[in-house]
Amino acid sequence: MLLSQQKPIEEILKSLEGEMKVFVLGCKGCAEASGTGGTPQVLEMKATLEKNGKTVTGYSVVDFLCQKALVQSRLRGKAKEVKAADSLLVLTCGVGVQAVATVNAKVTHPACNTISLGGIRGEWQGAERCRECGDCVLDSTGGICPLTSCSKSLLNGACGGTTQEGKCEVDAEMDCGWLLIYQRLEKLGRLDKLLTVHEGKDHSKEMPPKGLRHSVHWALEEG
Amino acid sequence: MGFQESLTAGKFVVTSEIGPPKGTRVEEMLADAELLRGRVDAINVTDLQSSVMRLGSLAVCHLLKERGIDPIFQVTCRDRNRLALQADLLSAAVLGIRNVLALTGDYASLGDHPQAKPVFDLDSVSLLGVVKKLQGGTDMAGNALQGAPKFFVGAVVNPGGNPPEAQIIKMEKKMKEGASFFQTQGVYDIPAFEKFMKKVAPLKVPVLAGIILLKSAGMARFMNKNVAGVFVPEPLIQRMAKAEDRVKTSIEIAAALIQGLKGLCQGIHLMPIGWESKVPLVLDAAKI
């Protein structure tokens, strides 16, 4: 899931400067789950824009805005409203914004920031649990990810900044991930795992396969 | 006798730290360092301490070295990736800097540029591993070096860590990766420190107990609340609160701590945090 967060309204209005008529798009996938671009947020955005003197020519909440063909067909059904607009405002992740921008010839604005792939997958909602690092270390950490549970993403144990309450010195609301790891390993009788020295992480594994960034795919998608 | 020689000869050693200024005016800092000449075995130069942007540690270490003072180059992982860290270590070596203290570093959001990208490509343990590799003649990726550096390498430990056992496990890892001495977070509670030293005795590694000069009762309370692992007992806070002359009381407290810690570890590390000029007075009062 792509977790998104709505941009401050001031930033959105600034990006719409000089454009009085706007068509608004939302998504029933991740953006709805993030509470940033589902039907209620689209209606709310419509009202906010109108309050700020804009005309909303129409809106559409598509099942999956990242599905380019679907976006194209939905926009075709709203051709008149889209045509009447100066620009489009999209309340989704960056993929949705790019899908919309690809299938229409008008200026397309993002209304959200995509903040994380979040590891907020499947049915276990709540916290970020996986950073898709491509080099899983859960074996040596009792099944708790130090990348997401430690502010500094340390691999070799707590930094000394664990408070007496067991929180992180960087964020008093956040449990110290390394304390949790220590406690879990202690319970498992596997504190020896903590003696594993992790050399620096291979960050090249964090990058998506190069093929995903090849613009040749974009060219093929044209037309 | 240099810092490394004194420490390895089993002498009781004293280090103090200076914080580079925010800007290019170094005269006051160098004057503070001058006061420490002959009184301490080495001077730690902090690396953008508390994540506040300032003059770099490497340049200041060089200035000290030029003046015949033995610097300890503090290196954190917050601001540099593995390329930059290795390059700075090589730079330090060619400038004649012999002592390195490897730290993870404070988080970027705690300082004056909270928008900065926190790097943490390496951490204290993997950084020590890199220093070891460089000394062995290769870089972190295993490529041969044209000339290898030679360092005396230290690390830090927080005796008040929660739990202390996790800190001790990490100490072992740091030693495995080449740490030959440890400087600690500020210590105020001597019995607690004694317990910690008993636990680390099997590691047989020199430990320099950290002393942070108390500037006021408010500072002590602030540290108790916000600095993980630092615990200033209430009687000390009361003494500071009632002090007519805060500097005098602070010096007395630090000197008494040094006397109490002297038999427990192999040295002390003073962190004056702005009161660098008071360090000689502390050492006078502690009779060292």
Q: Is the pLDDT of residue A20 over 80?
A: yes
Instruction: Report whether B157 contacts B149 (CB < 8 A).
Output: no
Least Cα distance to A28 among A13, A42, A7 occurs for A42
Separation in Å, CA A17 to CA A46, A49, A56, A86, A96: 16, 12, 14, 11, 22
Give the pLDDT of residue A124: 60
Using CA atoms, how far residue A218 sits from A156, A221, B93, in Å, is 41, 5, 49
B133: closest chain A residue by CA: A199
The span from the CA of A121 to the CA of A141, in Å, is 21
Please report the ipTM that was assigned to this predicted complex: 0.87
For chain B, residues with pLDDT lower than 70 are: none
Q: Which residue has tokens 């649990």? A: A129
Rg (CA), chain B: 18
Is residue A11's pLDDT more than 60?
A: yes
Q: Give residues with Cβ within 8 angstroms of A186, minimum separation 6.
A: none
Interface test with B, best of A197, A204, A205, A206 (most B CBs within 10 A): A197
**How many CB atoms lie under 10 A from the CB of residue B207?**
25
Q: Give the domains, in start order, of chain A with CATH numbers.
A: 3-116 (3.40.50.2300), 138-206 (no CATH)
Confidence of residue A112 (pLDDT cuts 50, 70, 90): very high
Secondary structure (3-state) at B55? coil
Confidence of residue A33 (pLDDT cuts 50, 70, 90): confident
pLDDT over threshold 70, residue A120: no
Summarised one tens digit per residue, pLDDT across range A170-207 is 999 999 999 999 999 999 999 999 999 999 889 888 77
What per-residue confidence (pLDDT) applies to B154?
A: 98
Q: Which two tokens stand for residue A179?
A: 């304390």
Judged by DSSP in three states, A108 sits in strand
| Token code pair at residue B203 | 């590691």
Residue A132 pLDDT level (bands cut at 50, 70, 90): confident
Taking an 8 Å cut-off on Cβ atoms, the answer to whether A163 and B110 are in contact is no
CB pair distance less than 8 Å for A200 and B156: no
Confidence grade of residue A130 (pLDDT, cut at 50, 70, 90): confident
Contact assignment for B228 to A163 by CB distance below 8 Å: yes
Q: What share of chain A is helix, strand, coil (3-state, %, to 5)?
A: 40, 20, 40
The contacts of residue B4 (CB under 8 Å, 6+ apart) are B98, B99, B152
Element (H, E) at B181: strand B181-186
Neighbouring-strand partners of residue B153: B100
Sequence-distant (≥ 6) Cβ neighbours of residue B280 within 8 angstroms: B35, B36, B39
Statement: residue A208 has pLDDT above 80: no
Q: Cβ of A87 under 8 Å from any chain B Cβ?
A: no
For testing the chain B interface, which of A137, A144, A150, A159 should be mutated: the one with the most B CBs within 10 Å? A159
pLDDT at position A204: 84
Mean pLDDT to the nearest integer, A114-118: 75
Return the SS3 of B15.
strand
**A122 pLDDT more than 60:** no
Q: What is the pLDDT of residue B172?
A: 97
Mean of the per-residue pLDDT values for chain B? 96
Q: Give B37 or A129, the one with higher predicted confidence.
A: B37
Task: Note the maximum CA span of chain B.
Answer: 61
Compare all CA atoms of chain A with the CA of B172 and give the residue at the minimum distance: A195
For residue B73, the Cα-to-chain-centroid distance in whole angstroms is 9
CATH annotation of B3-285: 3.20.20.220
Q: What percent of chain A has pLDDT over 90?
A: 65
Higher pLDDT, A128 or A62: A62
Closest Cα in chain B, distance from residue A133 (Å): 13
How many Å is the maximal CA-CA distance in chain A? 67
Looking at residue A215, its pLDDT comes to: 65
Judged by a CB distance cut-off of 8 A, whether residue A166 touches chain B is yes
- In this structure, what is the dihedral angle of CA atoms B105, B107, B111, B115, given to the nearest 10 degrees? 130
**A30 in Cβ contact with A94 (< 8 Å):** no
